Chains A and B, each alone.
Chain A
Amino acid sequence: MAEETQSLAEASAEPDDADWQGPKIHYDLAKEFVIALVVVAVLAVIGAVVFSSPDDRPVTIRQWSQATPGDFLATAVSELDGSSPTAGYGPPYNTATGSGQKIFFLNPQQWIGVHTPVDAAQDFVLSPLALSAQTDPTLRAALARYDAASASDQQAWTTAYTKGLDKVQFSGTDVVLPARDYGPVAPMMQSLLSMARTGSLDADLLASPQFYGTDYTKPLLFIADGSYLADKAQAQHLSGDQWGMMNETGNFPGQAWLWLYTMWYQIAPFNSSANADALVWALMMLLTLGLALLPFIPGLRDIPRAVPLYRLIWRDHYRRLAEEAASGPQAGQPPAARMPLR
Chain B
Amino acid sequence: MTTQVPPAVDPVETPSWTGGLRRAAVRALPPEKLLPDKQPSYVASWVYVFGVLTLAAFVVILVSGVVLVWRGPSWWHVSKVGLFFNSIHLWSVELFFFFMVIHLWGKFFMAAWRGRRRATWITGVVSFVVSIGTAFTGYLSQQNFDSQWISTQAKDGLNSVGVGALFNVMNFGQMLLWHVLLLPVCVAVLVGLHLLLVRHRGVVRPIKVRSAVPARLGADGPGPDGSKEA
Q: How far is the CB of A247 from chain B (nearest CB, A)?
A: 9
If A16-B222, A255-B139, A280-B157 touch, whether A304 touches B42 (CB-CB below 8 Å) is no
Give 11 A-B pairs besides A18-B115, A47-B91, A109-B160 with Cβ atoms closer than 8 angstroms.
A25-B38, A37-B60, A44-B60, A55-B86, A58-B145, A108-B161, A232-B145, A248-B139, A291-B125, A301-B111, A314-B45
Stretch from A144-152, A187-195, A196-204, A220-228 forming part of the interface with B? A220-228
Q: How far is the CB of A134 from chain B (nearest CB, A)?
A: 29
Q: How many A-B residue pairs have CB under 8 A?
A: 335
Taking a contact as CB atoms under 8 Å apart, the answer to whether B170 and A216 are in contact is yes
Taking a contact as CB atoms under 8 Å apart, the answer to whether A101 and B160 are in contact is yes
The listed residue (A8, A12, A20) touching B208 by CB distance below 8 A is A12
Taking a contact as CB atoms under 8 Å apart, the answer to whether B172 and A325 are in contact is no
Taking a contact as CB atoms under 8 Å apart, the answer to whether B111 and A53 are in contact is no
Interface residues, chain B, with chain A CB atoms under 8 Å away? 30, 32-33, 35-45, 47, 49, 52-53, 55-57, 59-60, 64, 76-77, 83-92, 94-95, 97, 101, 106, 108-111, 113-116, 118, 121-122, 125-126, 129, 132, 135-136, 139, 142-154, 156-162, 164-166, 168, 170-174, 176, 201-202, 204-209, 211-214, 217-219, 221-226
- Complex CA–CA separation, A12 to B209 (angstroms): 10
Q: How far is the CB of B189 from chain A (nearest CB, A)?
A: 16
Taking a contact as CB atoms under 8 Å apart, the answer to whether A53 and B86 are in contact is yes
The listed residue (A56, A91, A313) touching B146 by CB distance below 8 A is A56
The interface residues of chain B, by DSSP majority, are classed as: helix
Q: How far is the CB of A334 from chain B (nearest CB, A)?
A: 14
Interface residues, chain A, with chain B CB atoms under 8 Å away? 1, 8-20, 22-30, 32-33, 36-37, 39-41, 43-49, 51-59, 89, 91-92, 100-101, 103, 108-109, 111-113, 115-116, 214-217, 220-221, 223-224, 229, 232-233, 236, 238, 240, 244-245, 248-249, 252-253, 255-258, 275, 277-278, 280-282, 285, 288, 291-296, 298, 301-305, 307, 309-311, 313-314, 316-318, 320-322, 325, 339, 341
